[in-house]
Structure 1
Amino acid sequence: MLDHEKLDVYKVFIEFMAIAIKIADNIPRGFSSLADQLKRAAWSIPLNIAESCGKKQH
């Protein structure tokens, strides 16, 4: 298990991502840009957490 996968905040946002994707998939077609934005935002949070855990502290 990688360091970021041990963090509670990472686990919570993985769950959030799954919920956000379900919500985005139910957004009407006329609002596809909103659905896309929600999916990208949901993905960015755990990716940013993982990236910050991989950086060395000075």
Structure 2
Amino acid sequence: MRDYKKLEVWKRAHLMTTFVYKDVVVQLPKDEMFALVSQMKRAAYSVPLNIVEGCGRTTEKDFARFLDHALGSAHEVEYCALLAFDLKFLDESVYTDLNKKVNEVKAMLIAFIKALRVS
């Protein structure tokens, strides 16, 4: 078992999630509260949650499977941000910052998954 708090990818995913909560969804219209806001929040916190759950697994294969789920959720956050930006709900600077954070987490997850599958 791993200590998720020591994993850099979890730290970055956690920062991405707090950014979504504090800086992104607050810009979205109130009438999106139960649609895009809810979906973006769930996708965002799913990334670090899947990393945490994977850390509790005993095999590398199981851990990699949960990292795959985290990667899928990161892609979902990325699309939610694009949709919100294209609908003019997000400022370009916030969209750019979130996209940077998401891409960083995705790259780290991909590298981690590859390393686990090689071992």
Match of 2:32 in 1: 31
Kindly state the Cα deviation for residue 37 of structure 1 after the two structures are TM-superposed: 0.6
Q: Percent of pairs identical after alignment?
A: 37
Structure 1 or 2, whichever has the larger Rg, is 2
Q: Secondary structure at the match of 2:43?
A: helix
Higher relative contact order (CA 8 A, sep 6+): 1
5+ residue gaps, structure 1: none
- 1:50 maps to which of 46, 49, 52: 52
Aligned residues: 57
- Using the alignment, how far apart are the partners of 1:36 and 1:10 within structure 2? 21
Query: What TM-score results when the alignment is normalised by the length of structure 2?
Result: 0.45
Alpha-carbon displacement from aligned partner over 1:7-52 (angstroms, at most 9, x marks no partner): 0000001100011112112211122210111111111010000000
- SS across alignment from 1:56: coil
2:16, 2:59 → 1: CA distance?
28
